[in-house]
Amino acid sequence: MNRRNAAFALLLGLLGFGVASRAAEAQRAGKVYRIGYLSTPTRESVEHGLQAFLRKLRELGWVEGQNLVIEYRWAEGNVERLPDLAAELVRLKVDVIVAPAGSAALAAKNATSSIPIVMIAPNDPVEMGLVASLRRPGGNVTGTTFTPGPEIFGKQLQILKEAIPHVSRVAILSNPADPSFALQVMREVEAAARSLRIRLQHVEARGPEEFDSAFAAMARERAEALLVPGGSTFLVHRTRLAELAVKGRLPTMYSFRESVSAGGLMAYSVNVSDLTGHAAVYVHKILRGAKPADLPVEQPTKFELVINLKTAKALGITIPQSLLLRADEVIQ
């Protein structure tokens, strides 16, 4: 082949490659991706955050019903249902699994080592074994974490003490069936309790059927306040918990602002809507070809203190003005 023919052949090859590339791009552009959304709470419990997630996806060009199908799976607050729901999503061969809460992320990770998983707000993803490190996740899981570190739970106890200075006995409620309640969280709360001279009472409840006995145990130990540092089950049944706390005359600190809207006294936590919005960015990058192992886990930067004055009045508590001035939202 002479030089002129060789050049011509090369030109044809490059043109062919360009056409093939554009065809592949057009095919990708026309593809409808499938996302699995594996949630421990009910939809109603996380609707605010879910809408922030969907809104951010739309901003990035992903519209449910157009180029995106979302397979929702709701455990209704029962963490024991998560493995089966995760297995369903794996069988559907979804492109990404979104897992709000550590319990959902663990179930998804146990179900697949190949499908990318975007976790939303687990307490300590490293200690839970979800990622190797925040900077280099390593496997098929990445996303956002609920805390800049477990010290936020010690801060919750500190704010509770500031609101009720005389408190010396605080109950802490956990669900033994929920793996998202990391041991590091408990260690941080215990350290804060020692510095504040507060005696902790550990109380467990797997579900609403055990709430009455849990509050009876608090009454026997003469608990003066209650700390609920997380748990999807408690988020789902937040109204019932708030009612029992008021009935038992227990000022309560939560990790979800929704619990305060439902009648709880106060919450100090990250801005969950902000985190779920960032999770959509991870989904976008993964659908565009990024690998979860290469995407660092994002820690929160926005926090909020919410106080319910109506509940404070029902409990006979006067919240210090200094605390009210620091609150991001005060419910009258």
Rounded CA separation 202/217 (Å): 10
Under 8 Å between Cβ of 95 and 35: yes
Can you give the pLDDT at residue 301? 77
Q: What is the pLDDT of residues 270-329, one digit of tens each?
A: 877 778 888 999 999 999 999 999 999 998 877 899 999 999 999 999 999 999 999 999
Can you give the pLDDT at residue 147? 63
Under 8 Å between Cβ of 131 and 297: yes
Instruction: Considering the chain, tell me which residue range(s) the CATH 3.40.50.2300 domain(s) occupy.
Output: 28-147+271-301, 151-270+304-331
> To the nearest whole number, what is the mean pLDDT of the chain?
87
Can you give the pLDDT at residue 153? 84
pLDDT reading at 57 higher than 70: yes
Specify the DSSP class assigned to residue 295: S
Task: Return the ∠ at Cα 94 (arms to 92 and 95), rounded to 5°.
Answer: 160
Q: What is the pLDDT of residues 159-210, one digit of tens each?
A: 999 999 999 999 999 988 876 666 667 778 888 999 999 999 999 999 899 9
Query: Looking at the domain 151-270+304-331, which fold is it?
Result: Rossmann fold (3.40.50)
Can you give the pLDDT at residue 21? 40
Residue 324 CB partners (closer than 8 Å, separation 6+):
307, 330
How much of the chain exceeds pLDDT 90, in percent?
Answer: 63
Q: Could you tell me which of 191, 178, 279, 273 has the C-alpha nearest to residue 230?
A: 178
Residue with tokens 């179930």: 107
Q: What is the pLDDT of residues 240-263, one digit of tens each?
A: 999 999 999 999 999 888 899 999
Domain 28-147+271-301, what architecture? 3-Layer(aba) Sandwich (3.40)
Per the model's pLDDT, the better-predicted residue between 88 and 145 turns out to be 88
Rounded CA separation 328/332 (Å): 13
Q: What is the dihedral of CA 321, 324, 325, 331, to 10 degrees?
A: -140
